Amino acid sequence: MEGSVTDQVAIITGGGQGIGRAIALRLARDGMHVVVVDRQGAQAEAVADEVRTRGRQALALAIDVTLADARQVMLDATLERFGRLDVLVNNAAMQRAALPSDVTEEHWDALMNVNAKAVFFCCQVALRHMAAHHSGRIVNIASIAGKLASTIYHPIYNVSKAAVIAMTKTLALAYALEGIRINAVCPGVVDTPMQDIVDQEFARITGKSPAEIRAERVARIPMGRIEQPEEVAALVSFLVGPDSGYITGEAFNVSGGILAG
């Protein structure tokens, strides 16, 4: 049986804002020390400061997770500072809207590099350490977009998040006997700065206003309201904690019922 997470160490990629920030603060509340990884160093440091005010240790790293050397620096810096790594949360992602007929190879490469390739290789670098210690948990932030073509306006985002779900299941099977659990979380429409960008991009394509786009998307949520980042973080907290000790290879929806039908 897994024990308490108090004084364990978690890396959160894309931790400088939105869902990543909420996860960092929730895991700090649970008793973990947190490594906040983000391309924007100032944002990472600001979240790290918030973690410290909650009585936990924090390390901020300005890291581009699409780069192999940077991913190794992420692990090495974590081990140098804390001497351990218990949890990896792959949250870093990007959005770009386009109709399928307008997608370019550059568009494809940009999204797949961040949303899928970087997730896989962040897992790989963490798993080398975790396997040596026969312990660890990974949570990959996917999306209901990986299960449902909820919109035609971000086709490659949909593909990238389906890839995250597939790699989660494959890696979970590969490392189950090593004492490592790997799961995915699939949020819906979340109130974050990224969602603001999505609304603006969809508005550009459709000719509607961002407010109209937001209203239409929220209207499709059975619970009738937009999701808060803290609600995603609560599920991550469960999946890295001892109460989920028999769960691996799953992709959990937290979407207000969008996929209930």
- Domain assignment of residue 221, yes or no: no
Residue 229 confidence (pLDDT):
98
Question: Looking at the domain assignment, is residue 197 inside a domain?
Answer: no
Is 212 inside any structural domain?
no
The β-bridge partners of 253 are 186
Q: Which pLDDT score is estimated for 166? A: 98
Phi and psi torsions of 199, nearest 5°: -60, -40
Model pLDDT, residue 68: 97
- Report the b/e string of 135-147 with b at 16+ CB within 10 A: bbbbbbbbbbbbb
Is residue 62 within 8 Å of residue 39, measured between CB atoms?
yes
Is the predicted pLDDT of residue 260 greater than 90, yes or no? Answer: no
CATH number at residue 117: 3.40.50.720
Which residues have C-beta within 8 Å of that of residue 30, sequence separation ≥ 6?
5, 6, 237, 241
CA distance 94 to 52: 27
For residue range 188-224, list pLDDT tens digits in order. Answer: 999 999 899 889 989 899 999 999 999 999 999 999 9
Asked if 99 contacts 61 with a C-beta cutoff of 8 angstroms, the reply is no
- Give the length of the chain: 261
Mean pLDDT estimate for the chain: 96
Locate tokens 């961002």: which residue?
210
pLDDT at position 149:
83
Q: How many CA atoms lie within 13 A of 34 on its CB side?
A: 37
Name which residue leads in pLDDT, 7 or 1.
Answer: 7
Positive or negative CA dihedral for 159, 161, 165, 166? positive
Region 57-81: mean pLDDT is 98
Residue 150: per-residue pLDDT: 73
Average of per-residue pLDDT across 67-79: 98
Q: Number of structural domains, the chain? A: 1
Residue 35 maps to a domain: yes
Determine how many CB atoms are found less than 10 A away from the CB of residue 83: 8
Exposure string (b/e) for 41-66, b if CB count within 10 Å is 16 or more? eebbbbbbebbeeeebbbbbbbbebb
Q: Is 153 a residue of the active site? A: no
How high is the pLDDT of residue 10? 98
Asked if residue 72 belongs to a domain, the reply is yes
Residues 220-247 pLDDT 10s = 999 999 999 999 999 999 999 999 999 9
Residue 48: which domain range? 9-190+228-254
Residue 143 lies in a domain: yes
Q: Is the pLDDT of residue 26 over 70?
A: yes
Name every residue whose Cβ is closer than 8 Å to that of residue 67 and which is 6 or more positions away in sequence: none
User: Percent of the chain scored above 90 by pLDDT?
Assistant: 90
Residue 99 has pLDDT above 70, yes or no: yes
Q: Is 215 within the bounds of a domain?
A: no
Task: State the DSSP H helix or E strand holding residue 184, giving kind and residue range, or none if neither.
Answer: strand 180-187
In a domain, 110, yes or no: yes
Cα 183 vs. chain centroid, distance in angstroms? 11
Give the whole-number percent of the chain exceeding pLDDT 70.
100
Q: Which residue among 153, 157, 175, 246 is the active-site one?
A: 157
CA distances from 106 to 118, 154, 211 (A): 16, 14, 29
Looking at residue 261, its pLDDT comes to 55
